[in-house]
Structure 1
């Protein structure tokens, strides 16, 4: 029984979300800036799939991250109406329930960056360089942390070329001076969850071997 969607189904899912996000865009210029990274992601994924083996699970994880980024890009992260969706569907305000004072969809995207990309990076290290799972996850977590820093630098470089209003709309800091630090921490936590999962699996396997 197939539990994961095929590569083709996952690709169609990504493309449909991307196209749907461009139906009557609310902020076309700002969305285009964010979506440029999505296009680069599509190109990198296509190139990688032609050269290396990528499991259906890891391909799906990457697709989930890209699709979520597309949704965030449409509403410039800070304006994703997730609380309205939750109230309409469940009759519950997530912001009130969790005590949030800001729109936290951007935190979800950064968390998924770490959570969704760590397994593919680790798998690549194992496949390409014949390294242990422990070493591979160390590399993957480090890569998530470093690239998260690079992305915050990239956001800053873009912001300094814009007007203050446009910079705030693009960066989505929502008045939080520690926004970049929290974004990097959230991505790291998403990545570390896989390390804990790997350690648990390894411990279970070692326990089974000794019985």
Structure 2
């Protein structure tokens, strides 16, 4: 399974790098773009250097790719100005662009699968219920940490942080961001756990690479 996936994953990597460059060609605000896509810059080399000794499931690679797309679109336009968000707002009769909530949904959805895969393959947690509990705790910790980063950016940049924060005047933005991350984590665990388990078994132990 490991070697069979190498070419498709390389293609996905090249595509992702190309889309990253495209998103940064003419962003609405260069500093905001860099802050928003920074996780992509960090994730790509990590996945590259760990591929041989700890390849991930195909499901997780797909999730990471989709999450990166969400981040890059948000970075290019800023979350409050993404056209898709305006279309969703018009469709649902919302008073604000909700694209940032899609980003926070993925902030729970994908990290839940990452945490679950590491915990299961490493044998760190026994019992399905305990695994679910720990994964959700990890997701909420990540989400809360990100809100602290946003707070730090607001303090450091002042008014210039508005595009990065994307609060759009919502005083409960931080709380709703964490709620959407929680919903994303629960959705991933509810819908994909069986598929994830099957792919983990097919992949084999980390040391063998499948």
Correspondence 1:122-201 to 2 at 5 A: 122-129=116-123, 131-132=125-126, 134=128, 135-164=130-159, 166-197=160-191
The alignment's TM-score, normalised by the length of structure 2, stands at 0.80
2:99 equivalent in structure 1:
105
Larger radius of gyration: 1
The alignment's TM-score, normalised by the length of structure 1, stands at 0.80
Contact kept, 8 Å, 1:118 with 1:137, in 2: the verdict is no
Q: How many residues align?
A: 189
Pair 1:12–1:142, CA change in 2 (3 A): same
Contact kept, 8 Å, 2:88 with 2:98, in 1: the verdict is no
Correspondence 1:23-38 to 2 at 5 A: 23-38=25-40
Pair 1:47–1:159, CA change in 2 (3 A): farther
Distance 1:99 1:71 in 2: 22
Candidates 48, 56, 59, aligned match of 2:58: 56
Pair 1:6–1:132, CA change in 2 (3 A): farther
Pair 1:98–1:7, CA change in 2 (3 A): same
Whose RCO is larger (CA < 8 A, sep 6+)? 2
Pair 1:94–1:46, CA change in 2 (3 A): same
Distance 1:120 1:29 in 2: 28
Q: CA RMSD in A?
A: 2.4
Once the two structures are overlaid, the 10-residue window that deviates more, 124-133 or 147-156, is 124-133
Distance 1:57 1:44 in 2: 17
Contact kept, 8 Å, 1:95 with 1:101, in 2: the verdict is yes
